[in-house]
Structure 1
Amino acid sequence: MQADFVLDYDVLTVEQPQKLYLMARLASGPAPDSQRRRPINLSLVIDRSGSMGGDKIAYTRQAAQFLVQNLSASDTLSVVLYNEHVETLIAPEKVTHKDAIVQRIAGIKARGTTNLSGGWLEGCKLVAQNQDSLFLNRVILMSDGLANQGVTSMPKLVAMAKQKLEQGINTTTMGLGADFNEDLLMAMADAGGGAFYFIESPEVAPQIFEEELQGLLTLVGQNLTVSLELTEHVQGVHQLNAYPVHTDGQRVSFRLGDVFGEEVKTLILELS
């Protein structure tokens, strides 16, 4: 990755306070050839609560089966189901027996209430079992987002997704049905460093998973962070972007998220 930093002034006076703007431009190289891509360590977390009945659970099964068919033997997959109970349908395993996995997914039925937090956290735990910096570590949460068991507070769930991202596990969310909780699922994906999708019908599922997988295949870096150590001459720093920020004493860190092939990320800071 190439990093360029530009200040709006070449020379500064220390006699009087003034604002200074810094632009960081980070450009990645091309993605690796798909034959040499990094393995995916993935947990697919499926909402099977009563609110997912009918068409929702039907095209959730179809979408999940499509995903399985497009993984490779170097990838690790687990499948978690949840309603008021959390069940590991498939413990983490290499994707070498796709037909068997597809058959097990075909038997998923909807019933009960919705412990979204429990299912998602179980998926995170399974990903953590095989977590490796050489893998793409991700949870895909498929739900209508209508949580009524476990942790149901949106701020708490978003904070938890942010914490998992800091631990190296990304969260992608997929909303199902016309009545899904868009605010919650979008916020979790944003905080979790993943993507958000809306699956409105079985027909769009292949396109959505193709987009998500293509993103994973072209990923060249995870959880890019830019950190600044402030001296006594700098009173504060403010970004003109909207990246998550963390302050620890004089160190200020901006999390720019995942980096894809031939992507340019720009961070603009106002120093005072």
Structure 2
Amino acid sequence: MPQNALQVTIKTSHDQLNALPSEQLIYLLLKVAPGESAQRRRAPLNISLVIDRSTSMRGSRLNQVKAAASLVVDKLSAGDNISIVTFSDRAQVVIPSQKVGNKVALVSRINSIIASGATEIYQGLQAGLRELRKERIDEHVSHMILLTDGHTYGDSEQCLLLAKDAAEKGVSMSAFGLGTEWNDEFLDALVAPSGGRSAFIELPQQIIAYLENQIEGLGMMFAQNVQLQYRFPTRVGIRFAFKVSPYVQPVPVEKNILKLGMLEGSTPVTCLLEIGVGPQELGSFLELPYQVSAELIGLENELARVTGKQVLAVVESANTP
């Protein structure tokens, strides 16, 4: 295991707890960053853009998406892989998975995309994942980017199952909702298994900046599959978790694990936790053990771990910091 690959810091809202007969809340801020001596390596990217081309995307919205997709092609290196899938009520592979070579030819294919049909996201996700799997997932940073302006029809559960399966096999996902009709709860749930990002893009002209930022972050990735594992005492549990950096994103609270996604360059992953604490005995100490783990990029996905615990004394009248 790499030594000092991760730097983990935790701040709590309380240094001590009151000995109360009822539940009380404390807040914990977790920060995960690359260690000072950590080696940084760039792994080749394996990117699939999955683009909504339904009728509602017609006009400036689709034009800006095509311009953003062209920028993605321009930003990728010769050793990276790109695939582009469009979907309406069926999926079409516009660019099959391939090394980034003739960028002019790739952009020409992107410009051929036209809008038509309804919105069935599962068809697009399935085709995008199929293209990603043509490459060795463990030898690349494999990531799917979904751009859609609406709700999917009748296949949301299939989409969520696919996202879970993809995450288990090392594929992360981000999703961007365009316009005012997008389903934020669905997109949040879609990216949750891999700890990915979902965001609302209000104006078509903002699409390019969002995708540029996403690709730059993937190219600088230090670690993926960052997780917080915890085993708190009885009557102690996480009420909610919210990632606050490098972007704001709700984090589903699963049994004893939080999936925090990627560690991009030197930018830390920071997460705010609300923890409910049941009655504790006066004079005792509340211990909150944890383990943070992450797969390091460029080291055959070697796993780095940091373990520790927060200890809070239970007193008659506690002072908050």
Match of 1:194 among 191, 197, 200: 197
Q: Gapped runs of 5+ residues in structure 1?
A: 11-15
Counterpart of 2:283?
A: none
Q: 1:30 to 1:107 in 2, by over 3 A?
A: farther
Q: Alignment partner of 1:81: what SS?
A: strand
User: Which protein has the bigger helix share?
Assistant: 1
Counterpart of 1:164?
A: 166
Distance 2:187 2:113 in 1: 25
Q: Is the 8 A contact 2:240 2:252 kept in 1?
A: no
Q: Alignment partner of 1:180: what SS?
A: coil
Counterpart of 1:13?
A: none
Q: Is the 8 A contact 1:45 1:141 kept in 2?
A: yes
84-93 vs 49-58, greater mean Cα deviation:
49-58
Distance 1:85 1:109 in 2: 13
Q: 1:79 to 1:271 in 2, by over 3 A?
A: same
CA RMSD across the alignment: 3.6
Q: 1:218 to 1:187 in 2, by over 3 A?
A: same
Structure 2 residue 33 is the aligned partner of structure 1 residue 28: yes
Counterpart of 1:48?
A: 53
Counterpart of 1:223?
A: 225
Q: Alignment partner of 2:177: what SS?
A: strand
Distance 2:27 2:139 in 1: 32
User: Which protein has the bigger strand share?
Assistant: 2
Q: Is the 8 A contact 2:86 2:94 kept in 1?
A: yes
TM-score by length of 1: 0.76
CA apart distance, 1:19: 8.2
Distance 2:118 2:112 in 1: 19
Distance 1:82 1:51 in 2: 12
Q: Is the 8 A contact 1:170 1:194 kept in 2?
A: no
Q: 1:2 to 1:53 in 2, by over 3 A?
A: same
Counterpart of 2:130?
A: 125
Q: 1:146 to 1:17 in 2, by over 3 A?
A: closer
State how 1:18-167 maps to structure 2 within 5 Å. Answer: 25-29=30-34, 36-148=41-153, 151=155, 153=156, 157-158=159-160, 160-167=162-169
Distance 2:25 2:115 in 1: 57
Structure 2 residue 257 is the aligned partner of structure 1 residue 253: yes
Letter of the structure 2 residue corresponding to residue 215 of structure 1: G
Match of 1:206 among 205, 208, 221: 208
Q: 1:235 to 1:74 in 2, by over 3 A?
A: same
% identical aligned pairs? 26
Q: Is the 8 A contact 1:78 1:126 kept in 2?
A: yes
Q: Gapped runs of 5+ residues in structure 2?
A: 1-5, 243-250, 279-321
CA apart distance, 1:139: 0.8
Distance 2:36 2:164 in 1: 26
255-264 vs 91-100, greater mean Cα deviation:
255-264
CA apart distance, 1:166: 4.1
Distance 1:270 1:146 in 2: 35
Counterpart of 1:238?
A: 238
Q: Is the 8 A contact 2:64 2:208 kept in 1?
A: no
